[in-house]
A = this chain, B = another copy of it.
Amino acid sequence: MSKLYGVPLSPMVRKVLLALEIKKINHEIVPVMPFNKPEGFEKISPLGKIPAWEDDKVTLADSTVICEYLEDRYPEQPLYPEDPAGKARARWFEEYADTVMLPVLGTVFFERIAKKMMNQPVDEAKVQEILESKLPGTFVYLESQAPEADFLFGPDLQMADISIATNFINLGHAGVNVEPAEYPKLAAYVERLLQHPAVANRIAEDKKFLGTK
């Protein structure tokens, strides 16, 4: 069976997992932790990063490369807009989520949740610094882009939404929410994201794993 290497708490692994679940692609998860990789993992993922993907045709690393491949190979239930301009805008949001949101929102999660899981001391001063100096810029940009209703490209959740949602899931686990008074459009959009059945199911699975409600 096709294999997704990684752990669902990793935002980039969860991004691929959501694509697999929404597209209903058969797969199994092979748990690989970022700091404890099995021998030979570099053959599947040259930089040793998660997620990685293996099926009858390919071994692939990089969440975006994997998701584009899944879309090309399994075009039913499309997760990108069809027109070139829309698809380009969707790819921009995915790039923004992976390279701008992840280092900011992901660090809050890493400090407050991942480090706690590894019995390492949490650097709460670092978290506060991020919340005060870096998070607002991201929220201001997303507030300017958030759709008034539905998702970024209409009624269906697509890769652009998934890429943003996976970061907000981890931010939520770390106890940080979007303030509706300050960012009304973004807060409402994030609420819609987190209530989408596939996303809500991921959050519930995470909470089982984390032992929280």
Residues on A facing B (Cβ under 8 Å): 46-47, 57-58, 60-62, 64-66, 68-69, 72-73, 84-85, 87-89, 91-92, 95-96, 100, 141
Contacts and interface: CB of A to CB of B under 8 A. Distances in A.
A37 B208 CA distance: 48
Given A57-B85, A73-B85, 9 more contacts: A60-B88, A60-B89, A62-B92, A64-B91, A65-B92, A69-B87, A69-B88, A69-B91, A72-B87
Q: Dominant SS at the A interface? A: helix
Contacts of A60: 88-89, 92
Contact of A61 (B47, B61, B92): B92
Q: Indicate how many identical chains form the complex.
A: 2
A64 B96 contact: no
Given A64-B95, A95-B64, A47 B100 contact: yes
Contact of A58 (B47, B64, B89, B141): B89
B69 A85 contact: yes
A84 to B, nearest CB: 4
Contacts of A61: 92
Nearest to A92: B65
Nearest to A75: B84
9 contacts: A58-B88, A58-B89, A61-B92, A62-B91, A64-B91, A64-B95, A65-B92, A68-B88, A72-B88
